[in-house]
Amino acid sequence: MSSIQLKQMAEFYNEARSRFLNSNIGLATQRDVVERLHLAGAEPEGVTYAEVDANGVPSLWCIPENCDKDHVLLHMHAGGSVVWSIHTDRKAVGHLAKAVGVRALLVGFRRAPEHKYPAQIEDVEKAYRWLLEQGIRPQNIASIGHSIGGNLAVNLAVTLRAKGVALPAAILSVSPWYDLEVSNQTLDSNAETDKLLTKELLGLFRDLMLEGTGVAASDPRVNMLHAELTDLPPIMVYYGSHELLVWESVEFAKRAKAAGVDVTLRSLSEGQHNFLLGAGRVPEVDQAIKEMAHWLRSKLRLPEARA
């Protein structure tokens, strides 16, 4: 049976979604509503933050006390490329960075509709190259993110591979939105259980990002279900069972495995889309973060965390 905190998180998401979908408010107010989602989680103890310019991309360091400074989690936030920010994710990523024992760099990539594709992946690549310029080795970097950020976490590796640039050591893709065609099989079956997303909302985010660019929603540059996945680093896909996007998480894992990628697939029972935000307050989320951290430490060749 799920905890009361997990149920409360779903209720909180449902209330936020009802406010976000109010047709009488504009995009600026919608973004303000989404920023409030960070309240689902608790502030991590022993983590400090520092703003930084990463090759022109406004970014944020999450720095746990006594952490390893040679390894980095490069994090891409959620929000369909339209809403959300590094500040929405700050606490959740702080908890994950603390569990791994390394710093995390949250990438403030440009958002649509002001900045259409490929602005998002361009900024993520700039931040990755900035880390390399700071002396961080590729084998000490994990590319991570949730929702559209989970897409970008994979997309970064695909983009770098095409350019012959050294890839990060691992990819953590949480509650990922891979299929911009918005055609997956659980969009209807999980419509009642997902308290944050709707099929219409996904379509809106896609259109705001791609409309007028000449890039189709099926294009492998944006749709990771159609991307070439061979020779990618190990990938962990972690999704919530109540999400609209369950099918594409499972399908992506199958396709990556068929391409010879080391894939780990995990599910949070009754977990919502972007469940990661419940870090520090929802016990099921904290347990999931422990599993993610264990996996990340193994791929980054870090010792097990001290008790």
The pLDDT averaged over each successive group of 10 residues in the chain (307 residues) is 95 95 90 95 98 98 97 98 97 98 98 98 98 98 98 98 98 98 94 97 97 98 98 98 98 98 98 98 98 98 75
The distance from CA 302 to its chain's CA centroid, rounded to whole angstroms, is: 22
Residue 306: the pLDDT is: 56
Residue spans of the domains in the chain: they are 4-299
pLDDT of residue 114: 98
Q: Options 3.40.50.1820, 3.40.50.300, 3.40.50.11060, 3.40.50.80; which CATH number does 4-299 get?
A: 3.40.50.1820
